[in-house]
Structure 1
Amino acid sequence: MADSARVQRQKALADKKKRLEELKARRLQRGTQTTRREAAKEQVETVKNLDAYIDGLLQVPAAGGAPTAPPPAPPVPETPSGNDETNGEVKQTPAQDEAEAAPAPVAPVIKMETFEMGTQTLEDDFPPSSDVDESEEVQDEEEEPGHDSIPELQPMAEEDAEVIAKVLTAEEVEQELKTETFSSFLNIASKKVERVLNSTFLADLLVDYDGESNGKKRIRASDGSAFLTSRQVYECSPWTQNRDVTDMDWSPLHTELMLCSYHMSTTSQSLGQQKGSTAVKNVSPDDSPSDSLAPRAGELMSDGLALVWNLAMPSRPEHIFTCGSPVTTTRFHPTESPLIIGGCQSGQVVVWDVRAGRMPVQKSSLVTTASGSSKGHTHPICSMEIVEGNTGLVTAAADGRVNFWSLANLRDPLESLQVGDSVSSLAVSPETDTLVCGDEMGNLYSISSSQSAIGGGNSQRSRRQMRKIEPGKSDSHFGLITSVSTKKLKAPARAGIQKGFLRGSGGLFLTAGVDWTVKMWSPAYTDKPLLSLVSHSYDYMSDVQWSPTHPGLMATASSNGTIGLWNFALSLEEPISGSDGIVVEPDGGSGRGLNRLKWSSDGRRMLVASADRVHALVLAEDVVRQKGDEDSRMMNHLLSRGLLDRTYNPEPTLV
C-alpha cells in the first residue's frame, strides 16, 4: 500500500512539473512578442523624427549670410491619372529625390539570450518562484479545455505513515523469512554484528587498569587456571551432535578462522545404515550457500561434514561443507583462501569452494586399471600434509599407500609409494621435506625427498628413498601410533643432514601411541628413542604436537580428557602442567576423552577436540614466552644425560 501511494505521489509531482514548464513557456513567448512590437514602434517613431529633423534643416537659414536653400519648385500640374503623358512615369521634384536618396537609419534589434540552471533535487525541496502570477496560472488553466486539476500533495506525516503501514500476519511473516533475499541479508548482517560484539576491541573496553590483578599470584590447579587465560567452546548442535571431530587446522591466511572435520553421525548408524557404505556423491548443483545455517532435506544426516569456525562466533560456523563419505582429515588451502581440502573414508580427496555451495567442486579419481590397481586411494585416508613450499600435498591411507599430489590438479596423484601394511599417522619435516609415517603395529618409516637425500642443492628429482626406523622391539611402540609431530621451527643455519634428518634440535620429532607413551626421536643420531614419557593415568595418548614458536614446548592429549604441557628446557622428567594435567572441561560437560589438538601459528592458542566439541584455549604469557636460549638448554639436558653422542656441536655448521 505504501508503494502505491509513493507511485501516485511521484506521478502527481511529474504532472505538476510539466504544467509549470508549459506556463513558463507561454509567458516567455508573450514576452518575446511584446518586445518585438515595441521594437517596431520605436523604429517607426525614429523614422518620423528623422524626416522632421531634415525638414527643419532645410527651412532654417544658415548663419553668417550663407545663401539660403533654393525655394521650392512650383508644383507640376498633374494629369488626371497623375502620370506623365509622354513616358508614363511619375514626375518628382528635386527635394523629393534628395530625401529619398538618403536612406533612413534602422534601429538595431536587441537579441536577448536566456538560460536556466537546475540541481538534481526533489521538486518539494525547491518550490516554484514567487514571480509566477497565481491568477495568471489559474487563467491559463481555465483557458485549457479538458485539463484536470491535480491537487497538491503534502508530505506525509510520521503519524500517517504509521497508520498506513501494513501489519503482516504470521503466515506472511513466515513466508518473508523463507525468501532467499531476506535470509541472505539476515545471515550476513547477523554474522557481522556477532563478530563485532565478540571482537577483542569490545573486550579491551572492559580491561581493569587499576593494577590489582597484575600483583595477584597465580594458583596452580588441575583446571588449568595457572596456564590458561581463557577458553571457549565451539559447537552447533543441529550439525555436530553425535559426531566426533577427526581433524583440525588453522587458516594460514586468516588467523581467526578454524577448520574442523567430523565423522559420520552415530544416529545414522543406529538407524541401520552400514558404516562407511556410502561413497562420495557425484558433483551436482547445490543451491545452498556454504555460509547458510539452514539445512536441506536430509542434509543433517550426511556422512561427511567439515565446518569453518570463527573465533568471534562460538555458536555457529562460518561455512558448512558436506559430502557422501565421512571426512577423516582436512586442511586449508595454503594460498587460496576460498578452497578447503578434505580426505574421506572412501579414499577420495575432495575440494570445497566457499563460492560454490556445500558440495565438493573437485574429487580425486577412483578409476581402477586393468590389473585392479587404482591411481588414487581406495582405503580411508588417515592423514594429509602440505609439502614442497605450499605447492604439493601428501596423503597417507590405511592400506599403507602414500600419494604425492600437485595442488594445481587433485584428480590423480603424481607419485605413489607403498609404506608397510597400514599407515596411521604422518608428519613432514619443514627443513628437509622428510616424511615420517607411523603404522598400526608401532613401526616408523622415513621417506626422504630428492634434495634431502643428497644433501640439498641439486634441482634434479630422484627417486624417493624409504627407510624403516628399527629401534628394537623393547623400544618401539606396542600398538597403534596415533600421532607424529615434527618441529616446525626452522633452524637459522643447517647443522648437517644425516639419514634425511637435521643434526641438532631441528631433527627431533615426537610420537604418541595407545601404549600410554610419548617418545622423542632423533634419527640423525640413533634409531632408538631419546625419551619415553609414560602417562600417569595409563590412558592412551591420542595426540602430541610441538609448539610452532617455542623450541622446547610440546603438548599432549590423553583419552582421560586432559592435556599435558612439557618444557624440555626446564625438565625432561615432569610436565610443567603437573602429573594430573589440565582438565579441558572442568564442569564435566562430555566426560569423554580428547581426539585431537592443534597449535595456532603464533603459539598462543590451542584447539582441543573432545567428542563433537572444539575448545579454543588461550595459554598464559609465562607459558609460551621464551626465557633465554631454551633450545640450547634442552640440547644440553639431552647431552648431559648421555642421550646424544658427544659429536653433537651446539654451534650449527654448514655442509
Structure 2
Amino acid sequence: PARVTETYSKEVQTIAVAEEVESEPRHRLSRRQQAVSEPKQMLTAAPPDSQTSAGDVKPIPAQLAELSSAQRQEIVDSDEFGVFFSRASRLVERALGQFDIGVDYAEKEDVNDSRRSEQRDPLWLAHRFFDSRWSGSRAITDLCWSPKHPELLAASYNGKTDAVSSDPDGIVLVWSVNNLLHPEYMFHSHSAVTAVALSRYAASHVLGGTYSGQILMWDMRAKAAPVQRTQRSTNGHSHPVFAVTVVGSQNAHNVVSMSRDGRLCVWSLAMLNHPLEMLELQRKRPERDAAAVGTAGAAVGGGAVSSGSASITASSMCFPDAQVNSFYIGSDDGSVYHAIRHATKAGVTDSFDGHCGPVTALSLHAPALSQHKDNGQLLLSSSTDWTCKLWSAKDTCRPLYSFEHASDYVYDVQWSPLHPALFASVDGSGSCSLWNLNSDVEVPVCCVNVSSSALNKVRWAADGTAIAMGDSAGAVHLYNLAPNVAAPCAEDWPTFDAAISHLLSPTAA
C-alpha cells in the first residue's frame, strides 16, 4: 500500500486562548506608547464640536496654582533661592559687562581719537572697585590676585570706623574684572583680616590672617563663614598675623604665616588645628645693647635674660619663587633679615641695614627676568622713612640704590612680573610711582595721584599689564599700563643687567 506522510502545523499545537490572553496586554501597551509618543494627535483627535461620544475624553489644559504672598515670601527667604539668585545674578552681570553690543565696526575712525590714544598716559584708571555696604569706612589691609583665575582679585579689610553691632569686624571681598558692579564673593571674620592669600593648588580656598592671631580658611563653594580656623592657643599665633602665603608644589604644599612677634608657623590645608612647624625668629643684639641688657639683668638678678639675641618685630615677609626654605623678613627696626627654615641652625642668617624707619613691604625680583645670575637675588624694600631701597643678596652691607622721590610714607612696593626693570610703589599721599631702572633711577617714569586717601597696597596682575592698588578708604583702583611701558623689548634685559652690575661695582658705592 502507498505510504502516507503526515504533516502538522504549529497553529494546531498552540492554544488559541493563551495567545489571546497574551496579545491583550501587548495591545494595551502599544496604545499607551502611542499616546505618549504622539500627544499632539491625542489633543487634536477630538471633534471640533462639543458633542462627543461617551468614550471620548477632552484634554484638560494645565493650570498653575497661584501661590499666596506668604508662600512666595517663604521661597524668597529660603537658602536655596538665595544661592540660586546670587549665582544667576553673577552670570547675568558677567554677560552684560564682557562685551559692548553697541560697537559699530563700520564707523569711520576719528583721527583725533587715534592721536589721543597715542598720547595717552603710561598709567590710566580702568575701574574702581567699591561697595558702600561692605567696604565703606574700612581700610584695605592686603590684596592678592588669583594664580588660578587671573580675573579674580581678593581684598581684605579691617573693621568699620562707624560699624553697627551686626557688621563683622573683618571681611574679604573677591572682585572680578568681568563683574565690575558687585564683588563675586564676600567672606566675614570675627576679627580684622590683616592678610589674604589665594592658593594655586586649591582654587576655591581663600586664606586669611587676622588681628587676633588666627588663620582662617573660606571656601567659595560654601557660605560666608570660614570652614576652617586655627585654635586660639600658645601653640600657634598669639599676635596679629600680617603675612600668609602658600609655598610648595602641587603634591606637597603648605601655608606659611608670620605674626608681629616674629613667630613663623607652617600649616597643612587639610588640618589647621596644630602647626606642622613653628620657628621663633631672633636677631643678634648689638654689643652696646647687649652690654646694657646684661648689666640690667645682673642688677635685678635676672640670669635668664639673654644678652646675645632679641626677638624680631616683623612687619613683612616674602619667599623667592620656587623656594620653601629661604625667605626674607622686614622689621620695625628698619632692617631686612634673611632666614631659613631647615638647617642645623634655622633662623636668621643675614641682615640688611639701611632704613631709618620700619620696613613696610618687600618684593623679590623674579629670577626668570634676569639673564645674568651673578648679580645675585635682587630685593626691593619700602619704609616709613619715605624711601625705597634696592638690595642684592651678594652685598648685605649697603643698598645698591635708594629711591627718594616720595613725599610721604612708602607703604608698598612690587616688581613687575613682565618687565625686568619696572616696579611700582605707593605712598601715604595717595600717589603711585612707576620706576624703570633702564630709563632713570632718580625720578619715576610716571607718577599718578590715585586717591585722596593713603595707598597702602599695590599688586601687579599676572600678565604685567595692570596694577591694583588699595587705599585706606576701602577702594580698589585698577590701572592699566600702556603697552610700550608694560612690555619689554629685546634690549631691556642686557641694559638692566648692565645697570645692576654697575650698581654692584665698588665705584658706585
TM range (shorter): 0.7 to 0.9
Corresponding residue to 2:337 among 445, 452, 458:
445
In the TM superposition, 1:26-105 aligns within 5 A as none
Contact 1:340–1:352, Cα closer than 8 Å, also in 2 = yes
Contact 2:207–2:244, Cα closer than 8 Å, also in 1 = no
Match of 2:42, SS?
Answer: coil
What is aligned with 2:349?
467
What is aligned with 1:521?
391
Match of 1:395, SS?
Answer: strand
Shift of 1:489: 4.1
What is aligned with 1:409?
271
Describe the shift of the 1:123–1:432 C-alpha distance in structure 2 as closer, same or farther (beyond 3 A): closer
Shift of 1:175: 4.9
What is aligned with 1:567?
436
Match of 2:329, SS?
Answer: strand
What is aligned with 1:377?
237
Give, in whole Å, the separation in 2 of the partners of 1:209 and 1:478: 58
Describe the shift of the 1:432–1:125 C-alpha distance in structure 2 as closer, same or farther (beyond 3 A): closer
Corresponding residue to 2:154 among 259, 278, 296:
259
Q: What amino acid maps onto 1:631 in structure 2?
A: W
What is aligned with 1:507?
377
What is aligned with 1:596?
457
Q: 1:319-360: per-residue Cα shift (whole Å, max 9, x none)? A: 221121111001012211121111111111111122332222
Shift of 1:551: 0.9
What is aligned with 1:245?
140
What is aligned with 1:180?
79
Give, in whole Å, the separation in 2 of the partners of 1:375 and 1:193: 46
Shift of 1:403: 2.5
Give, in whole Å, the separation in 2 of the partners of 1:181 and 1:401: 43
Q: What amino acid maps onto 2:397 in structure 1?
A: D
Shift of 1:608: 0.7
Contact 1:489–1:548, Cα closer than 8 Å, also in 2 = no
Give, in whole Å, the separation in 1 of the partners of 2:102 and 2:319: 39
Give, in whole Å, the separation in 2 of the partners of 1:128 and 1:188: 39
What is aligned with 1:485?
363
Q: Indicate yes or no: 2:327 matched with 1:435.
A: yes
What is aligned with 1:531?
401
Give, in whole Å, the separation in 2 of the partners of 1:126 and 1:613: 63
Contact 2:247–2:256, Cα closer than 8 Å, also in 1 = yes
In the TM superposition, 1:238-637 aligns within 5 A as 238-268=133-163, 299=166, 301-367=167-233, 374-389=234-249, 391-413=253-275, 414-419=277-282, 420-430=311-321, 432-433=323-324, 434-448=326-340, 450=342, 462-471=344-353, 476-490=354-368, 495=373, 503-504=374-375, 507-536=377-406, 538-577=407-446, 581-585=447-451, 591-610=452-471, 611-637=473-499
Q: 1:63-104: per-residue Cα shift (whole Å, max 9, x none)? A: xxxxxxxxxxxxxxxxxxxxxxxxxxxxxxxxxxxxxxxxxx
Describe the shift of the 1:310–1:466 C-alpha distance in structure 2 as closer, same or farther (beyond 3 A): same
Match of 2:95, SS?
Answer: helix
What is aligned with 2:291?
none
Give, in whole Å, the separation in 1 of the partners of 2:82 and 2:159: 28
Contact 1:525–1:645, Cα closer than 8 Å, also in 2 = no
Give, in whole Å, the separation in 1 of the partners of 2:474 and 2:146: 20
Describe the shift of the 1:208–1:338 C-alpha distance in structure 2 as closer, same or farther (beyond 3 A): farther
Describe the shift of the 1:321–1:121 C-alpha distance in structure 2 as closer, same or farther (beyond 3 A): same
Describe the shift of the 1:606–1:409 C-alpha distance in structure 2 as closer, same or farther (beyond 3 A): same
Give, in whole Å, the separation in 2 of the partners of 1:331 and 1:239: 20
What is aligned with 1:644?
505
RMSD: 3.5
Shift of 1:602: 1.2
What is the TM-score normalised by the length of structure 1? 0.62
Give, in whole Å, the separation in 2 of the partners of 1:551 and 1:348: 37
Give, in whole Å, the separation in 1 of the partners of 2:328 and 2:107: 49
Shift of 1:514: 1.0
Q: What amino acid maps onto 1:126 in structure 2?
A: Q
What is aligned with 1:45?
none
Structure 1 unmatched ranges of 5 or more? 1-104, 142-148, 272-297, 368-373, 451-460, 496-502, 586-590, 647-655
Structure with greater strand percent: 2
Q: 1:131-150: per-residue Cα shift (whole Å, max 9, x none)? A: x9xxxx95xx6xxxxxxx88
Describe the shift of the 1:527–1:569 C-alpha distance in structure 2 as closer, same or farther (beyond 3 A): same
Describe the shift of the 1:360–1:516 C-alpha distance in structure 2 as closer, same or farther (beyond 3 A): same
Match of 1:241, SS?
Answer: coil
Q: 1:151-196: per-residue Cα shift (whole Å, max 9, x none)? A: 624657xxxx7xx985966x77555432334333322211111111
Higher gyration radius (CA): 1
Match of 1:438, SS?
Answer: strand
Contact 2:35–2:42, Cα closer than 8 Å, also in 1 = no
What is aligned with 1:189?
88
Q: 1:457-495: per-residue Cα shift (whole Å, max 9, x none)? A: xxxx65434124244xxxx11111111111134368883
What is aligned with 1:92?
none
Contact 2:148–2:203, Cα closer than 8 Å, also in 1 = yes
What is the TM-score normalised by the length of structure 2? 0.78
Q: What amino acid maps onto 1:307 in structure 2?
A: L
Shift of 1:435: 1.3
Q: What amino acid maps onto 1:260 in structure 2?
A: A
Aligned length, in residue pairs: 450
Contact 1:430–1:490, Cα closer than 8 Å, also in 2 = no
Q: What amino acid maps onto 1:552 in structure 2?
A: A
Q: What amino acid maps onto 1:417 in structure 2?
A: E
Describe the shift of the 1:186–1:488 C-alpha distance in structure 2 as closer, same or farther (beyond 3 A): same
Contact 1:431–1:490, Cα closer than 8 Å, also in 2 = no
